[in-house]
């Protein structure tokens, strides 16, 4: 699903955000990207949905060579994946339904498909009963569920989440993580950048750790901190 080979990202101001990243993520995988703030988690995700352009290396997402992607093909790439952020990025003057439907409308979807698809994802995230409410009337967890519904409405094979629980209390956090897991079980590849140790340690999923723009560990059933808990094999 995702393949990065010798990928580097140097921002125009000279900051080396990512350095020689090699990473393979299989279809249907659930992967945590962990690391302190500023270690390149968000930059890595931004490369995948082509918000940033790699300085060197090869990036392939769902068969699309993102590093070589022409500007006018970016929209097509984004339709293959969903992105969720810490700050939800909802339109406050649109209802839950409209926010979700918006993602289909801008791709030129038929009304018939929108009417069928929106209720389906709202049901999946458990917000059917609040579809007429505005983001400001919702809790943080509900807003994030709306954002997840929007990310999923075009049936992407890949869901990228950048600190999805960063603004949420523990109860909402576990609600969102449970939802992400459910989405993953339906076959969607999920990549979550987070520095929420509790979430990572509870889920016991693949954990890729970034330090200063480099991958330092990559464990199949990992913890937030290497070697915490059960016996961990240090692998290079």
**Residues of this chain that bind other proteins (CB under 8 A):** 49, 71-72, 74-79, 83, 89, 91, 102-103, 106-108, 150-151, 154
Q: Where are the alpha helices (DSSP H) in the chain?
A: 41-48, 74-78, 96-105, 111-124, 140-152, 170-185, 197-203
User: Could you write out the DSSP letters of every residue in 10-73?
Assistant: E-TTS-EEEEEEEEEE-TT-EEEEE-STTSSHHHHHHHHTTSS--SEEEEEETTEEGGG--GGG
Looking at the Cβ atoms of 72 and 231, the one nearer to other proteins is 72
Q: Which residues make beta-bridge pairs with 10?
A: 16
Q: In the complex, what is the shortest distance from the CB of residue 152 to other proteins, in angstroms, rounded to a whole number? A: 11
Q: Report the residue number, 79 or 202, with the smaller CB distance to other proteins.
A: 79
Sequence-separated (6 or more) residues with CB below 8 Å from residue 171: 141
Name the residue nearer to other proteins (CB basis): 153 or 207: 153
Least distance in Å: CB of 206 to other proteins?
25
Q: In what order do the strands lie in the sheet with 64-65?
A: 16-25, 2-10, 56-61, 64-65
Q: How far is the CB of 217 from other proteins (least distance, A)?
A: 30
C-alpha–C-alpha distance, residues 9 and 159, integer Å: 22
For residue 205, what are its two tokens?
């999923």
Find residue 8's DSSP bridge partners.
Answer: 56
User: Least CB distance from residue 233 to other proteins, whole Å?
Assistant: 38
CB of 18 to other proteins, least distance (A): 21
C-beta of 156 vs 213, nearer to other proteins: 156
When the beta carbons of 10 and 77 are compared against other proteins, the nearer one is 77
Partnered with residue 31 across adjacent β-strands are 191, 206
Query: What's the closest the beta carbon of residue 111 comes to other proteins, in angstroms?
Result: 16
Nearer to other proteins, 71 or 235 (CB): 71
């Amino acid at each position: 699903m995702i393949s990065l080979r010798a990928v580097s990202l140097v921002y125009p101001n000279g900051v080396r955000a990512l350095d020689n990243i090699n990473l393979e993520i299989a279809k249907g995988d659930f992967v945590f990207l962990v690391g302190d703030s500023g270690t390149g988690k968000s930059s890595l995700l931004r490369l995948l949905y082509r918000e940033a352009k790699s300085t060197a290396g090869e990036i392939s997402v769902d068969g699309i060579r993102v590093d070589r992607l022409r500007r006018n093909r970016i929209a097509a790439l984004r339709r293959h994946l969903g992105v969720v952020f810490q700050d939800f990025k909802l339109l406050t003057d649109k209802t839950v339904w409209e926010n979700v439907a918006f993602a289909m409308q801008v791709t030129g979807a038929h009304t018939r498909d929108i009417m069928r698809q929106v209720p389906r994802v709202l049901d999946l995230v458990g917000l059917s009963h609040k579809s007429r409410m505005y983001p400001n009337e919702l809790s943080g967890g509900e807003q994030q569920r709306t954002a997840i519904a929007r990310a999923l409405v075009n049936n992407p094979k890949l869901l990228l989440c950048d600190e999805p629980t960063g603004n949420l209390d523990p109860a909402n956090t576990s609600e969102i993580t449970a939802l992400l897991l459910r989405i993953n079980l339906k076959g969607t590849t999920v990549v979550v950048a987070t520095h929420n140790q509790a979430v990572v340690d509870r889920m016991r999923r693949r954990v890729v750790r970034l330090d200063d723009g480099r991958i330092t560990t990559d464990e199949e059933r990992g913890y937030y901190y290497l070697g915490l808990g059960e016996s961990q094999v240090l692998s290079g």
